[in-house]
Amino acid sequence: MISDIVRWLEPYPVLYRPARSVYRAVSGVANGVREARSRRRERTIAREFHRVYYDAHLTRSDVKYQWLGVPIQKLPMDLCVLQEILWETRPEQIIECGVNFGGSTWFLATVCDAMNHGQILAVDISLASVWPQVPQHPRVEMVEMSSTSPEFVTLARERAAGKRTMVILDSDHTCDHVLKELRLHASLVSPGCYLICEDSNMNGHPVLESFGPGPYEALEQYLPEVPGMWTVDPRRERLLVTFNPNGYLLRNPL
Ligand SMILES: C[S@@+](CC[C@H](N)C(=O)[O-])C[C@H]1O[C@@H](n2cnc3c(N)ncnc32)[C@H](O)[C@@H]1O
């Protein structure tokens, strides 16, 4: 309607030009307000979905799912991002801390198969729950020890030596443990590759408010210790919901 009025003024340049400028400015502001409102709504709904999904995934067996037959404990959106990272960065060696049933290791191995590229070294303090096919996969080496033990530090360094390396931290999610893992293993990641610090959504980011300091807080401590080493990559959080807020770290060039 207002645009019609502006158009009517077209034969009178003295009136038309200022009217058109005002109209454009007002429409710009109105679009900005609409956009901001829609983003706010998107964030609120995504946060709510995150909470609902997280609770269901912890407590309801019908919400649990498998990757090619092995139970896995990641948000499907994060898996989608993970395959994107693998495809784009093509790591030769993946170090994975925290295995449980083995679904995430199986995911890594099958995506590596599809790319015909990559090996996985996976560690867990107990391999009792691992599904048997996972450690038998030719791309997988699986060891039972703590991810912060001197033995594992040595093994991870050996496997990463001279290889394009990626690291995934998904073991004990207490702040102290994750901080130790970051300090011990982050430097194994090659420039242009990623470290994924999983489950930084705990302790109210936005789930498990009473968990206490976890991966999110470990990252808050660790990142200022190594200025310029990492870019916290917001592109990897663009699917609106992630269990790993601020947890996709891209290693900067040396
Ligand atoms: C969240 S689960 C891993 C889930 C798996 N990555 C997935 O996405 O399907 C965490 C695992 O970390 C293991 N864990 C706990 N403390 C550990 C430690 N100090 N070193 C290695 N693994 C540990 C637990 O035994 C558990 O199996």
**b/e sequence 50-61, b meaning 16+ C-beta within 10 Å:** beebbeebeeee
Q: Please report the pLDDT score of residue 239 as a whole number.
A: 97
Query: In 10 A of CB 14, how many CB atoms?
Result: 8
Q: For the segment 30-76, what is each residue's pLDDT rounded down to a tens digit? A: 999 999 999 999 999 999 999 999 999 999 999 999 999 999 999 99
Q: Give the chain's mean pLDDT.
A: 97
Mutation to probe ligand 1, out of 78, 97, 125, 207 (largest number of atoms < 8 A from CB) = 125
Range list of β-strands (E), the chain: 65-67, 70-72, 93-97, 119-124, 140-144, 165-169, 194-197, 230-232, 248-251
Q: Residue 6 C-alpha to ligand 1 middle, in angstroms?
A: 64
CA of 96 to the centre of ligand 1 (A): 9
Measure 146 CA to ligand 1 centroid, in angstroms.
9
Q: Is the CB of 103 under 6 A from ligand 1?
A: yes
Separation CA 178–CA 196 (nearest Å): 11
Q: Which atom of ligand 1 is nearest to the CA of 129?
A: 27
If pLDDT is split at 50, 70 and 90, which confidence band does 28 have? Answer: very high
Tell me the CA–centroid distance for residue 207 and ligand 1, in Å.
Answer: 19
C-alpha Rg value of the chain to the nearest Å: 24
Are 216 and 208 within 8 A, CB to CB?
no
Lowest mean pLDDT among 13-17, 156-160, 164-168: 13-17
In angstroms, the CA 185 to CA 183 distance is 6
Verify whether ligand 1 is closer than 6 Å to residue 178 (CB atom). Answer: no
Q: How many angstroms separate the alpha carbon of residue 126 from the centre of ligand 1?
A: 8
**Can you read off the two tokens belonging to residue 232?**
């916290």
232: left (phi over 0), alpha (psi -120 to 50) or beta: beta
Query: d(Cα 62, Cα 34) in Å, to the nearest integer?
Result: 38
Pocket test for ligand 1, best of 96, 120, 170, 174 (most atoms within 8 A of CB): 170
One-letter amino acid for residue 88 of the chain: E
pLDDT at 4 over 90: no
In 10 A of CB 190, how many CB atoms?
19
pLDDT at 20 exceeding the cut of 80: yes
Domains defined along the chain, listed by start: 1-63 (no CATH), 66-251 (3.40.50.150)
